[in-house]
Structure formats: C-alpha cells, structure tokens
Amino acid sequence: MKTTIVITGMGVVTPAGCTLTDFWTGLLAGRSTAAPLDHFDTGRHAVRFGCRAQEPAGVLDAKQARRMDPFARFGVSAALSAHRDAGAPEAAPGRAAIVVGTAVGGRWTSDEESRKYTELGPRGVNPLMPLMTMPNAAAALISMRLGWRGPALSLANTCASGADAVGHGMLLLATGRADVVLAGGCESTLTPVTMAAFGNLSAVSTRNDAPELASRPFDADRDGFVMGEGAAFVVLERQEDALARGARVYAAVTGYAASSDAFHLSMPAEDGSGAIAAMTGAIADAGLSPSDIVHVNAHGTSTRQNDRIEAAALVKAFPAGPPPVTSTKGVTGHLMGAAGAVELVATVLAARESTVPPTANHDRTEPGMEIDVVHRAPRPIASGPALSNSFGFGGHNACLVVEPR
C-alpha cells in the first residue's frame, strides 16, 4: 500500500510577503511585485527591475546574517517558519532530513567578492566566500539550527529544483529513510552579473518604464520573464505519524514525477514531450486520471516560447481539456530554484480555499492557446486535487499533485 505523505507546516519568504496570510493575500490581489532595483547600480543594464523578497526581521542576528548569502538567509528563514508552523515536530536527530533546491547558490556573494578582487586585489576578498557561495550552505545551516543529523541534501535542477526537493523528500519518507523532512527551495539572483547575463540572453522582459506590467504569463503581449528571489519550505510527514501527534494537516502530496527533455540547455522540447511525461506521471503516481485535476499552477514564465509550449503540453496531457490554469509568476516573478516550492505552497493554499488566484497582467490569452487562464479576479473551484508544474533550463521537468485534507 502506498505511503501517504502530508504537509504539516509551510513557510515562505517572497516578494509578495513573508507570512502565509500576506502571500495568499498578495496572490489573490493579482498585482505584480516588480519594481526598479536600487540595491546596486543598474544604470548600464538592459534590465533594471525585478521582484525583491521582503526579508523577515528578527530571525537572524546581525553577525549570522553577515556570514550568509541572501539565498541562504531566505532559506533558513522560510525553513524555520515552516518548522514552527508544523508545531516543531520531533524525531530522532538521525531520522530528520532536509532537502533544498537552488539553481545557483550564493550568487550575490560571488558577484560582490569578484568586485572586491578587481578593486582591492586578492587581500580584499572575504575568506568566507567559499562557505557563503556553496549551494549546500542553506541545507547545512538549517541542519545546524535545528540539530537535525539525517540527510541534508542539495539539488540543483535549475527552475525545477524546489519541486524536485519536495519530491525527493517524499521518497525519503516513503522508503523509511526519514521520519520528518523539511523540503523546499531558496534563491537570490538579483545580482549585477546575473541580471546582465539574462538581459544579454534576451530571456527577460525589458519593460523598464513599466516593470509592474512586465510579467504576464500566457498573455499575447508577453516579452520575457521577470527575475525574482525568495524561498519556501514545507514540512513533510507520513500521514499516520502526523495524525498520531495531532498535527494540523494542510494537504497530502500524492503524486510526483520528473523527466528530462534531453534536447537543449535553454529551450524546451518543441513537442512538449518532457513536460507531458512529468504531468501525466505525477497524476498517475497519485492514482488519478487527468479529469480528476481541478486546477493547475503552471510554470508560466511569461516567455514567448516556454508559455506556448507549456500551453500545448497541457492540452495534450488533459485530453478532455485542461482545468483552470494560473501562474504565480505574474505576481512574484520567476524565483528560479525556489519557484517550484513557492508555487507548491500557492497550490496548497488554492486547494484548501477552493479558489484559484488570478494570473497578474494577463489581459488576452495568445491566440492558439487552448487553455483557460484565470485572470482579472480569483475564481472559485470545486475542492479536489491540483497539479503544480516546474520546468527548468536544461530540460528538467518536475510536477507535484496535492490533495486538500
């Protein structure tokens, strides 16, 4: 008999808010958080805006914060929030696990120390740089804060990292290798070099005069994604363990599947085959059929090709027609390695509230897209299973199915 994995705690650090209430309110409002960046000189940049996270105060003291890259600070804050939200579940230290997804790790520190090297020479570089930039820093720091000595894993599958982290957390529980898991993703890529690179790649929107209108998933007038930052974590437990300790259960994560396009480093497979395999695989893993799914939180980046291919893949994955679709990225921007985890939390909240938040800035679905994009206002839906999609550079695809409890 398949083990049922449930979510008993959730924590977020996002451009839309750092509490579940603020985050959900921001999504329902359907307003983009994109704004001009002022934490470095963007004067020579093609793209001068993004979606900055509202970092919570009081979680880390000043000394701790100075020794962490923003991606790790976001991750620690969201993970500790999820742990508290779950009622601080206890397990033998070696049976408590952590799985963190991030696309690039400590990119802000890498940029800053490179600047110092150029300006000051070798002696000007922070000796802690290797420890602050390593992608496993967040997992290590979370384990230290909680005293958890089980597996502390770090996954780097670009924009699918957060979703894959949750999927691997499910596997640790299902195979009996852990009794409680903190899983999620964290990212901070609003840095000078990263912003310059994506601008040169022509993957991001250049609406510098109206950044609040830039992220517009599936809209006919979209011109690229908007970079964001943040983190989200969930506490995963076996259902019987959660019920035995009287925990509040948000939802069950009943399905997970991952695939690879095996096609291109930056372009999705034109036929959407990898995305279709991940969607149908996750639904089958949940023991469901496509017609059972009542809502899809799409990857929906707001790029010309990715949105077009995902829309076509949704039609193929749902032969009777896709259910209502939304994209959280209209509000938060693209949180890269954290996106899948943040959007899973959004999917859980939508399933619990039987309400789909609108896709910000979506005015007119591109002609030829046969999908029902929720926009302009939240939409009530029937209670039921929902699908969260995450597709990343390199052709990494990861999908999760959640069912409200």
Looking at residue 52, what is its pLDDT? Answer: 98
Over the stretch 16-40, which tens digit does the pLDDT of each residue have? 999 999 999 999 999 999 999 999 9
Percent of the chain with pLDDT over 70: 100
Looking at residue 62, what is its pLDDT? Answer: 85
Q: Sketch out the chain's domains with CATH numbers.
A: 5-244 (3.40.47.10), 256-404 (3.40.47.10)
Q: Enter the DSSP assignment of 224.
A: -
| 334 in catalytic set | yes
Which residue in the list 168, 299, 375, 396 is annotated as catalytic?
299
Looking at residue 288, what is its pLDDT? Answer: 98
Average pLDDT for residues 49-73, to the nearest whole number? 90
Over the stretch 100-130, which tens digit does the pLDDT of each residue have? 999 999 999 999 999 999 999 999 999 999 9
| pLDDT over threshold 90, residue 272 | yes
> 170 and 236 in contact (C-beta within 8 Å)?
yes
Beta bridge partners of 242: none
The continuous run of DSSP H or E covering 402 comes out as strand 396-404
Which residue in the list 83, 168, 334, 362 is annotated as catalytic?
334
What average pLDDT does the structure give for the chain?
A: 97
Question: How far separated are the first and last CA of the chain, in Å rounded?
Answer: 19
Q: Phi and psi (nearest 5°) for 353?
A: -90, -5
User: What is the C-alpha separation between 326 and 359, in angstroms, rounded?
Assistant: 5
User: What is the C-alpha separation between 270 and 305, in angstroms, rounded?
Assistant: 9
Quick one: pLDDT band at residue 187, thresholds 50, 70, 90?
A: very high
Looking at residue 9, what is its pLDDT? Answer: 98
Looking at residue 63, what is its pLDDT? Answer: 86
User: What is the C-alpha separation between 186 and 340, in angstroms, rounded?
Assistant: 10
Quick one: pLDDT band at residue 56, thresholds 50, 70, 90?
A: confident
Which residue in the list 18, 51, 83, 159 is annotated as catalytic?
159
| 159 in catalytic set | yes
Looking at residue 186, its amino acid is: C
Q: Give the chain's radius of gyration (CA, Å).
A: 20
Quick one: pLDDT band at residue 61, thresholds 50, 70, 90?
A: confident
- pTM of full prediction above 0.75: yes
| pLDDT over threshold 90, residue 390 | yes
| 299 in catalytic set | yes
